[in-house]
Structure 1
Amino acid sequence: MTRDSVEVGGRPRTYTVVGPEDAKPSRDLVLVFHGSRQTGAKHRKFTGKAFDALADGGAAVVVYLDGHKGNWNDARRASRFPARRENIDDVGFTRAVIEKLVASHRIDPGRVFAIGYSNGGQMAMRLAHEAPELIAGAAVLAATMPAPENFLVADAPSVPMPVLLVHGTKDPIVGYAGGEPSWWVRKLFKIGGRSLSAPETAAYFAARNGITDEPVSRTLPKRAGSAGGTSAERTDYRQQGRPPVTLLTVHGGGHTIPGPRKAPAVVGRTNQDVNTAELIAEFFEIPSVT
């Protein structure tokens, strides 16, 4: 693990790299975007370093990027935290990190994936719309699409790519059913505006990918020793010749990331039947999780 920085718009921007420089060439790159009020290091701790496993075996490099004053300049029109007010160039930051790692770690620029949690999930969706040439797919955790009137790049051209969505039905911060955030969420996180529901978000990306076949859902099995109170349902939108879209609905789950590390109880229950890192590796065909 190494800390590094790159200058973007006259500002030094920092990030943490998991994976050695001197491994095999043409590796995948996984960019991890943290949630509000976090840093890359805090998010790494929050997940119990679960995403580090994507770098196991040397087939991928994982990078935890640091937002500006705890946030990403996402594409929600009603955001009003410093990254938005100062119009921080987070797309440029992402581009600069990729370019640097292509040179230093021999990354395959066609195999870059964005993982984003909450505000970071909003950033991943911004990249998918505004700079789709940078990423080959996005995993959006505990975030849903802004409604068209609340989305700054709603008129971006559609570029199909695989999208994985993970959301809890009891998320107290980003509602599974969409709509306006609660008053305390608006005040605490300095966000606002209407968002789509998690199922509407999945249907949106499926339509964007040109998928017209009906989705298929199934309940996932319980994992031995997992905590109770939640269950996982997987809904797949798939069609021959089209990039897939998958929605993992965590029934009873909170503003959390399924996996071995439980989040603080204040944000709700964490499902342990699914390991999100393993799900991401399977979905994007990253051959690194053992």
Structure 2
Amino acid sequence: MLVKRYLLVIAATFALPAGAATILDESLQRPEGLRHYLLAQPATPADGKRPLVILLHGHSASAALTFGRGKINDPAAAWLALADREGLLVMAPDGWKGSDDERGWNDCRADASTSPKTDDVGLIAALIDVAVGRYNADPARVYLSGMSNGGGMVYRAAAELSPRLAAVAVSSMLMPTRSVCPAPRRALPILVAQGTADSIVPYNGGEVGGMWLKGRGSVLSAEATVTYWRELAQLPAAPVITRVRQRDASAPTSLVRYVWGGDPQQVQVEFLKMENAGHVQPSIAYSVPWALRLILGKQNGDLEFADETWAFFKNKRAP
């Protein structure tokens, strides 16, 4: 979630270079209307089918912002370098406008009254079909990552599209307290990252939005969210715990990584606890402006969240 006056996004309207990758501006007809998405294609020749990563932006953001085409540095733009280095296809669709006139996703929060009513699970499934049929994506290596409201949509897709997903990642969003969706029944590799000082999606659960936003629903705690997925996967209660090395020992934030499941080719649950960090992904290269940090909270700078996510994704395959 981001406050609209700080976004002022400049949308991409034609193919643009992103490092060596190229961004294509595309659209897809859906029952609610034309849905827009951006696709990053690496310049390196494909050696067989390519992995596909779909990125879902937060409430009031956009695909353009996700791909670094906005007025702020979105850490998700680090996926563009990854696309070329790792030979990935990376898709970033736009959400649909809800009753608050902001783009977002129809996730599972029954009490998120301002969310759109679109079939966004159907949209994600259609994007996978397009990527597989038109761009040679590997149907066994489809990965989904979402920030904030986009993360809420990832939880829903993980329940309703799990056979088509190899792994998912969520940042700055927790499981809904009141859900309109059936509970997930199939274990899926999942990475969850949450800031302990997130004032928009509270670490200990509760109302989403704080003083900035209303009608955005409520969530469980970070511990309850991670426990849900760990127990669904029937993984042992004791994780492997690693404290991420701080690049600056005087920095106000730090990261602790908890991993359940020892085989990176099988179901794992990872929790990246962002100590004293707010509603923003960790990044070394993409630092959000200080004015926005007054709203979102502190940003950790010890790793690139895109790199952390791809390291979690890369060895996992859909059954």
TM-score (norm 2): 0.81
Asked whether the 8 Å contact 1:227–1:271 carries over to 2, the reply is no
CA distance in 2, matches of 1:102, 1:25: 12
Pick from 135, 144, 150 the counterpart of residue 120 of structure 1. 150
- Structure 1 counterpart SS, 2:67: helix
Instruction: State the shift of 1:39 in Å.
Output: 0.6
Task: Find runs of 4+ consecutive structure 1 residues off by over 6 angstroms.
Answer: none
Give the Cα–Cα distance (whole angstroms) in 2 for the partners of residues 14 and 252 of structure 1: 35
Q: Which residue of 2 aligns with 1:152?
A: 180
Q: Where does structure 2 lack aligned partners over 5 or more consecutive residues?
A: 1-22, 69-73, 98-102
8 Å Cα contact 1:173-1:255 kept in structure 2: yes
Residue 136 of structure 2 is aligned to residue 106 of structure 1: yes
Select the residue among 84, 90, 98 that pairs with 2:120.
90
Cα distance change of structure 1 residues 12 and 251 upon mapping to structure 2, 3 Å threshold: same
Q: How far did residue 25 of structure 1 move?
A: 2.8
Q: Which residue of 2 aligns with 1:135?
A: 165
Say yes or no: does 1:250 pair with 2:274: yes
Q: TM-score, normalised by structure 1?
A: 0.89
Q: 1:191 aligns with which of 216, 220, 234?
A: 216
**Correspondence for 2:4:** none
Question: In the aligned structure 1, how far is the partner of 2:266 from the partner of 2:85?
Answer: 29
Q: Which residue of 2 aligns with 1:2?
A: 24
| 1:206 alignment partner AA | R
Richer in helix (by share): 1
In structure 2, relative to structure 1, the CA distance for the partners of 1:182 and 1:8 (3 Å cut) is closer
Paired position in structure 2 for 1:282 = 311
Amino acid paired to 2:153: M
Q: Deviations over 1:138-177 (max 9, x none)?
A: 1000000112xx1112434x11111001111111100111
Partner of 2:253: 230
Checking the alignment, whether the CA contact within 8 Å between 2:144 and 2:169 is kept in structure 1 is: yes
2:30 matched to 1:11? no
Contact 1:259–1:274 (CA under 8 A) maintained in structure 2: yes
Q: Which amino acid aligns with 1:68?
A: W
Deviation string for 1:5-59 (max 9, x for gaps)? 1111151101000115963332110000000000111233322611212312352
RMSD: 2.1
CA contact (8 A) 1:54 1:62 kept: no
Matched residues, number: 277
The answer for unaligned runs of 5 or more in structure 1 is: none
Q: Percent identity?
A: 30
